[in-house]
Structure 1
Amino acid sequence: MSFTVNARKITLSLLIGSSSLMLFACGSSGSDSSAPAPVAPPAPPPATPPSSGASDTNELIKVNQLGFYPASQKIAIVPDNGATEFSVLNSDGVSVLDGELSQANTWDMDGRSVRMADFSALSTSGTYTIEVDGVSASNPFSISSDVYSDAHDTVLKAYYFNRASTALDAQYAGDWQRPTAHPDTQVLVHASAASEQRPEGFVLSSPKGWYDAGDYNKYIVNSGISTYTLLAAYENYSDFYQTRSLNIPESDNALPDIIDEILWNLTWMQTMQDPNDGGVYHKLTTLNFEGAVMPHEATAQRYVVQKSTSAALNFAAVSAQASRIFSSIDSLSALSSELQSAALSAWQWAQQNPDVPYIQPSDVFTGRYDDTNFNDEFSWAAVELFLLTEDTQFLDQYLSLNVPATTPSWPQVGTLGMLSLLNNGKELLSEAQYANVQDKVLGFANQILAEQGNAYQVGMTRSDLIWGSNSNGLNKAIVLLHAAQHTSGDAKPYVDAAVNFVDYVLGRNPTDYSYVTGLGSKPPLDIHHRQSYADNVAAPVPGFVAGGAQPGQQDNCSYPSSQPARSYLDDWCSYSTNEITINWNAPMVYMLAAMESAN
C-alpha cells in the first residue's frame, strides 16, 4: 500500500487497508461573559487496582465504531471480568473468528483492568460485533475498502456549517439551514489595535472565515494551524480530492471542494492584515461571548483587536504555504502572487515587532490564544517562506532557531515547518540539513511509539489529556505518518500507531463514545456549539470532533469520573471536554484523507 505525497509514490512495507500551558480553545464558557483562566493541570488520581471479579456489564467492548480496512490492524479493548476468549460475529450472528484475549492490563489514565482482542486476521468485508462472555457486546462496525470515505466528507463539511457571513441554504445544509449572519462589513478597530491610519472606531470590512469553535468569533492564531493542516491534506493527497463533492455552493466550479472551503477562511484572513504596516490583528470578536443563540441572533458589535507577533507569523506561514500550493492552479495564480506579498509584509512586521504578545484588553472577555514564546512561530514562518521563495535568509533563520519537534498545536507550531520541509525541501537542503529534519521528526515519532505501551495501545500521555486532547492524539498521528513515509526502516509500526489514534477517537477509548458528531453508534449529542444548541434540530451539526476527555473540569460540570481518560461529559455544560473547534477537526480530516488515499 502506498501514500501519495507531492505526486511521489512512497511505498510502505505495510498495509493500512487492500507544556505547562493549558491548550484552551476559545474557552466559550456557555453564556458566561468570560473565558476560564489557564491553570496547571491537576495530578492524576491514583489508579484503581485491576479488578478480579465480574465486570460491570454496562461497560461496552471498546472498538472503532466505524470500522477497518480489510488488511489493517484491528484491535478492541475488553473490560476484564476474567474471560479469556472473544468471538467476532457477522450480521447474521454467526461467529466468523474466535480468539484469545491478552493478559489483563491497566492504563493509569483510566484505572480499570482491561484485555485486548486482536482480530486483525479478519479481512472479509461486512458488518460485525465482538462478544465476550459476561460483557456487553461491542457496537457494530464495518470492514470495507472505503470505510472512511463518507466520514472524511462529513468531517470536512463541518467547516461549511461553521462559515460566517453567509446563509446556509437547505439544499446544502439540510436540517441545519440558517439565515445569513455576521456579514462583518462594519467591524470597528478596537482601542488596542488603533494606529494613526486606523484610529479607534475606524470601520473596516472583514467578512467570511469560519466561526472558531462553539462561539461566533474568529481568531487568526487558531486559523493558522487549521488552515495549514487542510492545505497539507490537499497538497499531500491531491488526487484523492480531485473528484470529491461535499455538496457546498462551490461544488460545481473547477476547484476541488477542499480548496473552496480553505478559500472561505483564507479570504477572511487576508482582511485581518493592516495594509499600512503589514501587521495582523489577533482576532475579530465581540467584547463578550454571545449567549446560546443562533448566529443571526448574535448581533453585538464586532471588533478587530490588537496586532500580535503570533498573529503576524501564523498569517505569514499560511499565506506563504497557500501561495506555493496555489501557484500550480491556473485560476489561482493571481491570488498566489497576492498571498506572497502579504506573507512577506507580515514577516517584515514580525521582524520589526518580534516580541508583541497578545494581552487581553480589560473590556474584552473572549478567547485569548495568548502565547509568549515565538521561536516556533518564527521557525514555521521561515520554513514556509523559504519553500516559497528559495531565499536562504529564511533557511538561515530556521536553522538558527533549532526548535525541537513536539506535538503540533496552536501554541506549538514548529513541527509544522519540519513536516513541510520533509515533503518539499529535499532538493533545496543539503544532505546534512535534510537528515537533521528527518532525525527530529523520527526521534519524536519514536517517542510516541514508546508511549503506546499501555492497555489501550494508544500513545496518549498525561500531558496529552488536556483541553482538546483528541487533537493532540490526531496531530501525533500526522507526525507518525510522516515518519512512516521518511524512515529507512520498517514503516508499519508508525502507521499502526497512527491508526490507533483514529481508533481511539472513533470509539476505542474508555468513555465508549465515538467523539465525532454523527459518526458511530454512540457519538456526542449535546456538544458545546451554539448553533447545535440553539437550533430546533435534535441532532447536532454532524462532523465535529469534540475536545475529548481531560481532568481539568474547568466548567465545574458534574463529570462521571476524575480519571483523565474518562473525564468527559456529553453535555452543553462541558465546554472543557465537549466543545468543538476548527483546529480539532483539521487533523481528523488529514488522517482520514491519508488512510483513504492509502487504501
Structure 2
Amino acid sequence: MADFTGLQHESRYKLVCVAGPSPLFYIARHPHEQAGQAAMKAFYYQRASMPLERAYAGQWAREAGHPDNIVLLHPSTGQKGKISSPEGWYDAGDYNKYIVNSGITMGTLLSLYEDYPQYCKGIRLNIPESNNKIPDILDEVSYNLRWMLTMQDPADGGVYHKLTNASFDGMIMPEQATQPRYVVKKSTAATLDFAAVTAQAARVYAKIDKPLALACREAATKAWQWALQHPKEPYRQDEMNKQFQPPVVTGEYGNAQFDDELSWAAAELFTTTKDEQYRPHINRMAVRYWQVPSWGQVGVLAYYTMARYDAGMKKDVIAFADNLLSGSDSTTYQVVMGKKAGDFTWGSNSVVANQGIALMQAYKFTKDKRYLNGAVALLDYLMGRNATGYCYLTGFGSKRVMHPHHRVSVADGIPEPVPGLLAGGPNPGMQDKCTTYVSKVPDEAYTDDDCSYASNEIAINWNAPLVYLIWAIEAAYPR
C-alpha cells in the first residue's frame, strides 16, 4: 500500500521501484469526474430509434436503428395487432429492450438524482437535450422512461415483459438489424418493476416536467392494480415457446418470486402518494437476509427509499453496510468484494458497484468516513485495483477493456470500443465457453474478448450503479 495524502499538486504521477515503473496515475481533487460522465453518457450511446450525431457521439456516430413504431403483439399476449413502442435503451450487448432490467436501472439512476440533486444538476453530458432547462441525467432517463410507458396496455394496466426480436441479431450495426420485433406476454415482475419506476419518476419529475409526472403517476397506480389482480404471473420462456410461435430465445429475465418487486413498488407508491394502502405491502426483512440489489432481487431498493425518512429503516441500512464492511480489511485488495467466491457471478462488477452504493447510503446518514473509504476502495477495484489489473470501464485505464461483447463496438469498424461501458467482470461460470480465459480462479475468471458474454458483456443495469457510485463519491467532496 502507498499513501499519497501528502501530495497536494494536481498532476499525473508514476511510482518507480525495483520492479519497474507503475502506470501513470492522477492525483486530483475530483479524479473520477470524467469516468462518471462517460459512464452516464454510455446510455446515450445505447439509444434506440434515433441517429447518433457526430456533434454528440464523435467517432461513434451512427444511423438510427429499430424505430419500433410497428411492433407485433406476440401470440403469448393473447392479443392480435401491433403497437408503437419507440425510444428506450438497448439493454446490453444486444438490441432488445427489457422492462425488468430497465426497472433496477431506472430506479438506481432516479435514486441518484433524489439523493444528490444539486450535484446532478451540475453534470453536463453533451447530449441533444443539453441546452434545455432539465438536468442532463433526467433528460437521458426520460428517453427510456417514455419507452417504458408505451409498454403498458392501456386497457388493463398490465405491462409487457419485453420488446424483442424472436432471436438475437448477429454482430451487426443497429440499422442493419431488421428482424420483426415483438412484445411478449405481460408478467407480474415487469408490471411491479414498472409501477416502482413510474411512481418514483412521478415525484422526481413533478417540478420539472408536470405532464410526464402525471402520466407516470397514473401509469403506476394502474400497474399496481393489475399486479394485485395477477399476483403470480411469471415469465417462463421455455413454457411459452411450447405454446406459441415464433419461439423467443432472447434474454428471459425470468422470476417466479415477487415479494421483493411488490415491496419496492409499494415503497415508491407510498412515498409518492402518501396513501396508507401501500404501507402493509412493504416487506420488513431481517438485515441478515439482505442482498445487494440485482434485477432479480430488488427488495433493498424499497429500504433505501423508506430510509430517507424512516428511522428504523435507516438503522437497518447502516447495519447492512456494517455487515458488508466486516472483514473487508483482510481481503487481498482490502475491499468488500471477494469476501466469498460467490461474489463472482454473472455481472460481478455490478455487485461491486451495488456494494459501494450500500456503503454510500450509510455514509449519507452517518458521515462516518469508514463507509466513504470503503466505497472509494470498491471504485478503485473497478478501475484496476483487482486481480486482473484491468480497468473495467471502456475508454479508461492503462490496461483497458478493448473488446467488449457489444454489437456496436464489434461492428462499427472503430478500434476503440464505445466509451463508458462497464464490463461484466470475472465470472467462473464461463457460460459462454469462450476459449481465451486464462484462469478459473474466481476473481481472475475474465477475458477481454467479444466472444465472452459471460465476463465481458455490458448492460444498463451494470452501468447504473457505477454512475451512482462515482457521482455519490464525487458529491461527498466539496467542489
How high is the TM-score relative to the length of structure 1?
Answer: 0.76
What aligned pairs does 1:419-458 form with structure 2 within 5 A after superposition?
419-423=304-308, 426=309, 434-452=310-328, 453-458=330-335
Q: Secondary structure at the match of 1:127?
A: strand
Q: Which residue of 2 aligns with 1:142?
A: 26
Give 1:230's aligned residue: 109
Secondary structure of residue in 1 paired with 2:34: helix
Asked if structure 2 preserves the Cα contact closer than 8 Å seen for 1:385 and 1:394, the reply is yes
Give the C-alpha shift of residue 520 in structure 1: 1.5
Q: State whether structure 2 residue 159 is matched by structure 1 residue 283.
A: no
Larger helix share, 1 or 2: 2
The structure whose residues are more often strand, as a share, is 1
Q: Which residue is 2:244 aligned to?
A: none
Partner secondary structure for residue 156 of structure 1: helix
User: What are structure 1's unaligned runs of at least 5 residues?
Assistant: 1-115, 427-433
* Pair 1:126-2:2 in alignment: no
Contact 2:259 2:283 in 1 (8 A): no
Write the deviation string for residues 520-567 of structure 1: whole angstroms up to 9, x where unpaired: 212100000000000011100000000001111111112111101111
The amino acid that maps onto 2:350 is: S
Which structure has the higher relative contact order (CA within 8 Å, separation 6+)? 1
Q: Where does residue 383 of structure 2 map in the other structure?
A: 506
Match of 1:389 in 2: 273
Looking at structure 1, the residues matched to 369 and 61 of structure 2 have their Cα atoms a distance apart, in angstroms, of 43
Establish whether residue 527 from structure 1 lines up as the match of residue 438 from structure 2: no
What SS is found at the alignment partner of 1:267? Answer: helix
Q: What code does the residue aligned with 2:318 have?
A: L
> Partner of 1:181: helix, strand, or coil?
coil
Q: 1:151 aligns to what SS in structure 2? A: helix
Corresponding residue to 2:346 among 454, 461, 467:
467
Alpha-carbon distance in 1 for matches of 2:120, 2:299: 27
Q: Distance in 2 between the 1:436 and 1:450 partners? A: 21
Which letter does structure 1 place at the counterpart of 2:67? P
Tell me the C-alpha RMSD between the 2 structures.
1.4
Distance 1:324 1:290 in 2: 37
Cα contact 1:293–1:531 (8 A) shared by 2: yes
Partner amino acid, structure 2, of 1:186: I
Structure-1 separation of matches of 2:210 and 2:378: 37
Matched, 1:497 2:374: yes
CA distance in 1, matches of 2:234, 2:258: 9
Q: Distance in 1 between matches of 2:17 and 2:298?
A: 44
CA distance in 2, matches of 1:338, 1:280: 15
Partner residue of 1:549 out of 408, 426, 446:
426
In structure 1, distance between residues paired with 2:460 and 2:471: 17
Paired AA for residue 512 in structure 1: G
Percent identical among aligned pairs is 48
Partners of 1:500 and 1:136 in 2: CA distance: 24
Question: 1:382 Cα shift?
Answer: 0.4
Secondary structure in structure 2 of the residue aligned to 1:273: coil
1:249-289: CA deviation from partner (whole Å, max 9, x where unpaired): 11111111111100100000000000111000010000000
Aligned to 1:518, what secondary structure does the other structure show?
A: coil
For structure 2, the 5+ residue unaligned runs are 242-246
Where in structure 2 are the equivalents of 1:327-346 lying within 5 Å?
327-329=206-208, 332-346=209-223
Q: What is residue 417 of structure 2 aligned with on the other side?
A: 540
When residues 373 and 121 of structure 1 are mapped into structure 2, their CA distance, relative to the original with a 3 A threshold, is farther
Write out per-residue CA displacement over residues 325-358 of structure 1, whole angstroms, 9 at most, x where no aligned residue: 11122xx112111111100000111111111111
- Residue type at the aligned position of 2:71: V
What are the Cα deviations for residues 393-420 of structure 1, in whole angstroms up to 9, with x where unaligned? 2112115677853201111111111111
List per-residue Cα deviations over 1:184-231 (Å, max 9, x = no partner).
Answer: 01100111112xxxx23x111000000000000000000001111111
Contact 1:128-1:141 at 8 Å conserved across structures: yes
| Maintained 8 Å contact 1:357/1:371 | yes
SS in 2 for 1:572: coil
Give distance in 1, aligned partners of 2:315 and 2:405.
40
